[in-house]
Amino acid sequence: MKATAIAPANIAFIKYWGKKDEALRLPLNSSISMNLSNAYTTTTVEFSKAFPQDTINVASDTSFTTFTHVLKNSELRIIAHLDRMRKLKGTDMRARVVTKNSFPAGAGIASSASGFAALTVAAAAALDLSVSEKELSILARLGSGSACRSIPDGFVMWEEGNSSETSYAHSLYPPGHWDLRDIVAVVQSKPKEVGSTSGMEAARTSPFLEARLAAIPGRIARVKKALEQKDIHALGNVIEEDCLDMHAVMQSQKPPLNYLTDETREIINAVRRWRSGGLAVCFTIDAGPNVHLICEGKDEQVISKKASEISGVQQIIVNKPARGARIVTEHLF
Ligand code: DP6
Protein backbone atom coordinates (compact mmCIF):
# COMPACT_ATOMS: atom_id res chain seq x y z
CA MET A 1 0.00 0.00 0.00
CA LYS A 2 3.10 2.22 -0.12
CA ALA A 3 4.95 3.09 -3.33
CA THR A 4 7.53 5.62 -4.50
CA ALA A 5 8.02 7.05 -7.97
CA ILE A 6 10.52 9.37 -9.61
CA ALA A 7 9.39 11.54 -12.51
CA PRO A 8 11.40 14.00 -14.59
CA ALA A 9 10.44 17.56 -15.41
CA ASN A 10 10.30 18.17 -19.13
CA ILE A 11 11.17 21.08 -21.38
CA ALA A 12 8.72 21.80 -24.17
CA PHE A 13 10.13 22.35 -27.68
CA ILE A 14 6.59 23.13 -28.85
CA LYS A 15 4.68 24.70 -25.97
CA TYR A 16 1.29 24.08 -24.40
CA TRP A 17 -0.50 27.34 -23.58
CA GLY A 18 -4.29 27.38 -23.44
CA LYS A 19 -6.98 24.75 -22.99
CA LYS A 20 -10.04 23.83 -25.01
CA ASP A 21 -11.48 22.12 -21.89
CA GLU A 22 -10.37 23.47 -18.51
CA ALA A 23 -11.80 20.65 -16.37
CA LEU A 24 -10.33 17.87 -18.52
CA ARG A 25 -7.15 19.84 -19.23
CA LEU A 26 -7.44 19.29 -22.96
CA PRO A 27 -4.87 21.55 -24.62
CA LEU A 28 -5.52 23.87 -27.56
CA ASN A 29 -2.57 22.29 -29.37
CA SER A 30 -0.29 19.25 -29.42
CA SER A 31 3.17 19.74 -27.94
CA ILE A 32 6.61 18.08 -27.95
CA SER A 33 9.10 17.89 -25.07
CA MET A 34 12.25 16.29 -23.72
CA ASN A 35 12.46 14.75 -20.24
CA LEU A 36 15.17 16.20 -17.99
CA SER A 37 17.68 14.02 -16.14
CA ASN A 38 18.56 16.47 -13.38
CA ALA A 39 15.22 18.09 -12.56
CA TYR A 40 12.90 15.54 -11.04
CA THR A 41 10.40 14.86 -8.29
CA THR A 42 10.44 11.89 -5.95
CA THR A 43 7.09 11.06 -4.33
CA THR A 44 6.07 8.41 -1.83
CA VAL A 45 2.36 7.65 -1.40
CA GLU A 46 0.83 5.37 1.21
CA PHE A 47 -2.88 4.62 1.50
CA SER A 48 -4.24 3.27 4.78
CA LYS A 49 -7.59 2.77 6.46
CA ALA A 50 -5.88 4.01 9.63
CA PHE A 51 -5.29 7.53 8.23
CA PRO A 52 -8.09 9.94 9.29
CA GLN A 53 -7.21 12.43 6.51
CA ASP A 54 -4.81 13.06 3.64
CA THR A 55 -1.49 14.57 4.69
CA ILE A 56 0.88 16.16 2.22
CA ASN A 57 4.43 17.08 2.99
CA VAL A 58 6.39 19.04 0.41
CA ALA A 59 10.09 18.82 1.14
CA SER A 60 12.05 21.13 -1.14
CA ASP A 61 15.19 23.22 -1.32
CA THR A 62 12.97 26.30 -1.46
CA SER A 63 11.30 27.38 1.78
CA PHE A 64 7.55 27.45 1.29
CA THR A 65 6.79 29.13 4.60
CA THR A 66 6.61 32.58 3.01
CA PHE A 67 4.51 31.31 0.08
CA THR A 68 1.67 29.59 1.89
CA HIS A 69 -0.82 30.41 -0.89
CA VAL A 70 1.31 28.35 -3.29
CA LEU A 71 1.41 25.46 -0.84
CA LYS A 72 -2.35 25.70 -0.22
CA ASN A 73 -3.17 25.61 -3.93
CA SER A 74 -0.87 22.72 -4.64
CA GLU A 75 -2.24 20.83 -1.62
CA LEU A 76 -5.79 21.17 -2.93
CA ARG A 77 -4.69 19.99 -6.38
CA ILE A 78 -2.87 17.00 -4.90
CA ILE A 79 -5.95 16.00 -2.85
CA ALA A 80 -8.19 16.36 -5.93
CA HIS A 81 -5.77 14.08 -7.77
CA LEU A 82 -5.79 11.51 -4.96
CA ASP A 83 -9.62 11.57 -5.19
CA ARG A 84 -9.36 10.71 -8.92
CA MET A 85 -7.06 7.78 -8.17
CA ARG A 86 -9.27 6.59 -5.27
CA LYS A 87 -12.33 6.69 -7.52
CA LEU A 88 -10.60 4.40 -10.04
CA LYS A 89 -9.85 1.90 -7.30
CA GLY A 90 -13.23 2.31 -5.59
CA THR A 91 -11.73 3.09 -2.19
CA ASP A 92 -11.97 5.95 0.28
CA MET A 93 -8.69 5.24 2.08
CA ARG A 94 -6.79 8.42 2.95
CA ALA A 95 -3.18 8.89 1.93
CA ARG A 96 0.12 10.12 3.24
CA VAL A 97 2.17 11.85 0.55
CA VAL A 98 5.75 13.05 0.85
CA THR A 99 7.21 14.72 -2.20
CA LYS A 100 10.61 16.22 -2.89
CA ASN A 101 11.94 18.22 -5.83
CA SER A 102 15.54 18.20 -6.98
CA PHE A 103 15.17 21.82 -8.15
CA PRO A 104 13.52 25.11 -7.05
CA ALA A 105 9.73 24.85 -7.44
CA GLY A 106 7.60 27.29 -9.38
CA ALA A 107 10.31 29.09 -11.35
CA GLY A 108 9.85 27.98 -14.93
CA ILE A 109 11.20 24.50 -14.47
CA ALA A 110 8.08 22.38 -14.76
CA SER A 111 7.54 21.36 -11.14
CA SER A 112 3.85 20.56 -11.68
CA ALA A 113 4.83 18.23 -14.56
CA SER A 114 7.27 16.12 -12.56
CA GLY A 115 5.12 16.45 -9.43
CA PHE A 116 1.87 15.15 -10.92
CA ALA A 117 3.64 12.48 -12.99
CA ALA A 118 5.38 11.12 -9.86
CA LEU A 119 2.18 11.35 -7.80
CA THR A 120 0.17 9.51 -10.47
CA VAL A 121 2.67 6.65 -10.85
CA ALA A 122 3.25 6.27 -7.09
CA ALA A 123 -0.47 6.41 -6.24
CA ALA A 124 -1.37 3.91 -9.01
CA ALA A 125 1.24 1.48 -7.67
CA ALA A 126 0.23 2.03 -4.04
CA LEU A 127 -3.39 1.25 -4.98
CA ASP A 128 -2.26 -1.69 -7.11
CA LEU A 129 -4.12 -0.37 -10.16
CA SER A 130 -3.29 -2.10 -13.41
CA VAL A 131 -2.93 0.78 -15.83
CA SER A 132 -1.03 1.15 -19.10
CA GLU A 133 1.49 3.92 -19.87
CA LYS A 134 -1.22 5.62 -21.94
CA GLU A 135 -3.68 5.52 -19.03
CA LEU A 136 -1.03 6.86 -16.64
CA SER A 137 -0.38 9.71 -19.09
CA ILE A 138 -4.10 10.52 -19.25
CA LEU A 139 -4.36 10.45 -15.44
CA ALA A 140 -1.28 12.63 -15.02
CA ARG A 141 -2.76 15.11 -17.55
CA LEU A 142 -5.83 15.54 -15.35
CA GLY A 143 -3.50 16.69 -12.53
CA SER A 144 -1.42 19.03 -14.70
CA GLY A 145 -1.37 19.10 -18.49
CA SER A 146 2.39 19.02 -18.98
CA ALA A 147 2.64 16.10 -16.51
CA CYS A 148 1.33 13.73 -19.18
CA ARG A 149 4.60 14.32 -21.09
CA SER A 150 6.71 13.21 -18.08
CA ILE A 151 5.29 9.66 -18.15
CA PRO A 152 6.85 8.23 -21.38
CA ASP A 153 10.61 8.06 -22.03
CA GLY A 154 12.93 10.53 -23.74
CA PHE A 155 11.53 12.76 -26.48
CA VAL A 156 7.77 12.91 -26.11
CA MET A 157 4.73 14.07 -28.06
CA TRP A 158 1.42 15.00 -26.40
CA GLU A 159 -1.40 14.50 -28.90
CA GLU A 160 -3.97 17.19 -28.14
CA GLY A 161 -6.92 14.85 -28.83
CA ASN A 162 -10.56 15.82 -28.63
CA SER A 163 -11.57 13.80 -25.56
CA SER A 164 -9.94 12.62 -22.34
CA GLU A 165 -9.16 9.21 -23.89
CA THR A 166 -7.46 10.69 -26.96
CA SER A 167 -5.33 13.35 -25.22
CA TYR A 168 -2.13 11.64 -24.01
CA ALA A 169 1.61 11.58 -24.54
CA HIS A 170 3.80 8.92 -26.15
CA SER A 171 7.51 8.56 -26.74
CA LEU A 172 8.91 9.66 -30.12
CA TYR A 173 12.46 8.54 -29.32
CA PRO A 174 14.21 7.01 -26.29
CA PRO A 175 16.62 9.23 -24.31
CA GLY A 176 19.67 7.76 -26.07
CA HIS A 177 18.45 8.84 -29.52
CA TRP A 178 20.24 12.19 -29.49
CA ASP A 179 22.83 13.47 -27.00
CA LEU A 180 21.15 16.84 -26.39
CA ARG A 181 21.51 19.06 -23.34
CA ASP A 182 19.12 21.41 -21.59
CA ILE A 183 21.33 23.75 -19.57
CA VAL A 184 19.01 25.70 -17.29
CA ALA A 185 20.31 29.16 -16.37
CA VAL A 186 18.46 29.87 -13.12
CA VAL A 187 18.02 33.60 -12.53
CA GLN A 188 15.22 33.31 -9.98
CA SER A 189 14.30 30.46 -7.68
CA LYS A 190 11.25 31.79 -5.84
CA PRO A 191 7.75 30.68 -6.93
CA LYS A 192 6.15 32.82 -9.62
CA GLU A 193 3.20 35.06 -8.82
CA VAL A 194 0.89 33.80 -11.57
CA GLY A 195 0.99 30.06 -12.19
CA SER A 196 0.46 28.40 -15.58
CA THR A 197 -3.07 27.18 -14.83
CA SER A 198 -4.55 30.60 -14.08
CA GLY A 199 -2.18 32.31 -16.54
CA MET A 200 -3.33 30.29 -19.52
CA GLU A 201 -7.04 30.80 -18.75
CA ALA A 202 -6.74 34.18 -20.47
CA ALA A 203 -4.87 32.89 -23.55
CA ARG A 204 -7.94 33.43 -25.76
CA THR A 205 -7.90 37.16 -25.00
CA SER A 206 -4.66 37.53 -27.00
CA PRO A 207 -5.12 38.62 -30.63
CA PHE A 208 -2.04 36.50 -31.44
CA LEU A 209 -3.40 33.19 -30.15
CA GLU A 210 -5.03 32.17 -33.43
CA ALA A 211 -1.89 32.96 -35.42
CA ARG A 212 0.21 30.80 -33.11
CA LEU A 213 -2.28 27.92 -33.24
CA ALA A 214 -2.33 28.09 -37.05
CA ALA A 215 1.46 27.72 -37.08
CA ILE A 216 1.59 24.73 -34.73
CA PRO A 217 1.05 21.80 -37.17
CA GLY A 218 3.93 23.04 -39.35
CA ARG A 219 6.15 23.48 -36.29
CA ILE A 220 5.33 20.00 -34.97
CA ALA A 221 6.40 18.57 -38.34
CA ARG A 222 9.63 20.62 -38.24
CA VAL A 223 10.52 19.45 -34.71
CA LYS A 224 9.84 15.83 -35.64
CA LYS A 225 12.09 16.15 -38.71
CA ALA A 226 14.85 17.92 -36.73
CA LEU A 227 14.73 15.15 -34.11
CA GLU A 228 14.81 12.46 -36.78
CA GLN A 229 17.77 14.08 -38.57
CA LYS A 230 19.43 15.29 -35.33
CA ASP A 231 19.67 18.74 -36.88
CA ILE A 232 20.42 21.19 -34.05
CA HIS A 233 20.12 24.29 -36.26
CA ALA A 234 16.67 23.32 -37.57
CA LEU A 235 15.57 22.39 -34.04
CA GLY A 236 16.84 25.69 -32.64
CA ASN A 237 15.00 27.77 -35.25
CA VAL A 238 11.63 26.22 -34.55
CA ILE A 239 12.05 26.05 -30.75
CA GLU A 240 12.86 29.76 -30.48
CA GLU A 241 10.06 30.70 -32.86
CA ASP A 242 7.44 28.87 -30.79
CA CYS A 243 8.82 30.08 -27.46
CA LEU A 244 8.76 33.72 -28.54
CA ASP A 245 5.25 33.32 -29.99
CA MET A 246 3.99 31.84 -26.72
CA HIS A 247 5.47 34.75 -24.78
CA ALA A 248 3.90 37.17 -27.30
CA VAL A 249 0.54 35.53 -26.54
CA MET A 250 1.20 35.80 -22.79
CA GLN A 251 2.22 39.46 -23.04
CA SER A 252 -0.83 40.38 -25.15
CA GLN A 253 -3.38 38.57 -22.96
CA LYS A 254 -5.76 40.65 -20.87
CA PRO A 255 -4.44 41.18 -18.25
CA PRO A 256 -0.96 40.83 -19.75
CA LEU A 257 1.44 38.31 -18.32
CA ASN A 258 5.16 38.94 -18.49
CA TYR A 259 7.46 36.23 -17.23
CA LEU A 260 10.64 37.64 -18.79
CA THR A 261 13.00 39.78 -16.74
CA ASP A 262 16.06 41.87 -17.60
CA GLU A 263 18.20 38.82 -16.77
CA THR A 264 16.17 36.68 -19.18
CA ARG A 265 16.70 39.22 -21.98
CA GLU A 266 20.39 39.46 -21.25
CA ILE A 267 20.74 35.68 -21.67
CA ILE A 268 18.68 35.72 -24.90
CA ASN A 269 21.03 38.37 -26.30
CA ALA A 270 24.09 36.39 -25.18
CA VAL A 271 22.76 33.25 -26.93
CA ARG A 272 22.37 35.24 -30.16
CA ARG A 273 25.95 36.53 -29.82
CA TRP A 274 27.36 33.04 -29.14
CA ARG A 275 25.48 31.76 -32.18
CA SER A 276 26.93 34.49 -34.42
CA GLY A 277 30.29 33.32 -33.13
CA GLY A 278 29.58 29.81 -34.44
CA LEU A 279 28.19 27.98 -31.37
CA ALA A 280 25.12 25.78 -32.02
CA VAL A 281 22.85 26.79 -29.13
CA CYS A 282 19.29 28.04 -28.79
CA PHE A 283 17.04 29.16 -25.94
CA THR A 284 13.57 28.37 -24.70
CA ILE A 285 11.62 29.72 -21.72
CA ASP A 286 8.50 28.43 -19.93
CA ALA A 287 6.27 30.33 -17.50
CA GLY A 288 9.12 31.89 -15.54
CA PRO A 289 12.29 33.92 -16.10
CA ASN A 290 14.80 31.05 -16.22
CA VAL A 291 16.32 30.26 -19.59
CA HIS A 292 16.80 26.75 -20.97
CA LEU A 293 19.81 26.56 -23.30
CA ILE A 294 19.50 23.69 -25.75
CA CYS A 295 22.69 22.35 -27.35
CA GLU A 296 24.50 19.13 -28.20
CA GLY A 297 26.55 17.25 -25.61
CA LYS A 298 29.84 18.22 -27.23
CA ASP A 299 29.15 21.92 -26.49
CA GLU A 300 27.96 21.42 -22.89
CA GLN A 301 31.09 22.62 -21.12
CA VAL A 302 31.70 25.78 -23.12
CA ILE A 303 28.03 26.84 -22.93
CA SER A 304 27.70 26.03 -19.20
CA LYS A 305 30.81 28.09 -18.52
CA LYS A 306 29.61 31.05 -20.58
CA ALA A 307 26.14 30.93 -18.97
CA SER A 308 27.52 30.80 -15.43
CA GLU A 309 29.61 33.92 -16.14
CA ILE A 310 26.50 36.04 -16.83
CA SER A 311 26.01 38.21 -13.73
CA GLY A 312 22.32 37.46 -12.96
CA VAL A 313 22.73 33.68 -13.25
CA GLN A 314 22.53 32.08 -9.79
CA GLN A 315 22.76 28.42 -10.71
CA ILE A 316 23.22 26.14 -13.71
CA ILE A 317 21.37 22.82 -13.99
CA VAL A 318 22.67 20.54 -16.76
CA ASN A 319 20.16 18.01 -18.06
CA LYS A 320 20.45 15.14 -20.51
CA PRO A 321 17.43 13.47 -22.14
CA ALA A 322 15.88 11.18 -19.52
CA ARG A 323 13.53 8.28 -19.01
CA GLY A 324 9.97 8.95 -17.98
CA ALA A 325 8.28 8.33 -14.63
CA ARG A 326 9.19 5.08 -12.89
CA ILE A 327 8.80 3.18 -9.64
CA VAL A 328 11.78 3.05 -7.29
CA THR A 329 12.27 0.92 -4.19
CA GLU A 330 13.63 3.54 -1.79
CA HIS A 331 10.80 5.35 0.06
CA LEU A 332 10.85 8.89 1.50
CA PHE A 333 9.20 7.68 4.76
C1 DP6 B 1 4.55 27.30 -20.22
O2 DP6 B 1 1.13 22.02 -17.40
O3 DP6 B 1 1.73 23.78 -15.71
O4 DP6 B 1 5.33 25.27 -19.22
O5 DP6 B 1 -2.23 22.04 -17.17
O6 DP6 B 1 -2.77 24.13 -15.97
O7 DP6 B 1 -1.23 22.45 -14.92
P8 DP6 B 1 -1.74 23.08 -16.20
O9 DP6 B 1 -0.51 23.84 -16.85
P10 DP6 B 1 1.02 23.42 -16.95
O11 DP6 B 1 1.50 24.40 -18.14
C12 DP6 B 1 2.79 24.38 -18.68
C13 DP6 B 1 2.96 25.55 -19.58
C14 DP6 B 1 4.36 25.79 -20.10
C15 DP6 B 1 4.55 25.20 -21.49
C16 DP6 B 1 4.74 23.71 -21.60
O17 DP6 B 1 5.34 23.09 -20.70
O18 DP6 B 1 4.33 23.17 -22.64
- pTM metric for this prediction: 0.95
Angle at which helices 209-229 and 232-252 cross, to 10°: 160
CATH class of 180-319: alpha beta
Task: Evaluate: CB of 10 within 6 angstroms of ligand 1.
Answer: no
Q: Which of 16, 22, 78 to mutate to test the pocket of ligand 1 (most atoms within 8 A of CB)?
A: 16
Spell out a b/e string for 203-217, using b for 16 or more CB atoms within 10 Å of the CB, else e.
beebebbeebbebbe
Which one-letter DSSP state was computed for residue 108?
A: S
Fold for 2-175+324-328, please state it: Ribosomal Protein S5; domain 2 (3.30.230)
Question: Whose alpha carbon is nearest atom 5 of ligand 1?
Answer: 145
Q: For residue 17, how far is its CA from the centre of ligand 1 (angstroms)?
A: 7
Question: Whose alpha carbon is nearest atom 11 of ligand 1?
Answer: 196
Per-position pLDDT tens, the chain of length 333: 999 999 999 999 999 999 999 999 999 999 999 999 999 999 999 999 999 999 998 775 443 333 344 557 788 999 999 999 999 999 999 999 999 998 766 555 667 999 999 999 999 999 999 999 999 999 999 999 999 999 999 999 999 999 999 999 999 999 999 999 999 999 987 767 788 999 999 999 999 999 999 999 999 999 999 999 999 999 999 999 999 999 999 999 999 999 999 999 999 999 999 999 999 999 999 999 999 999 999 999 999 999 999 999 999 999 999 999 999 999 999
Q: For residue 195, how far is its CA from the centre of ligand 1 (angstroms)?
A: 9
Which one-letter DSSP state was computed for residue 321?
A: B
Q: Where exactly are the structural domains of the chain?
A: 2-175+324-328, 180-319
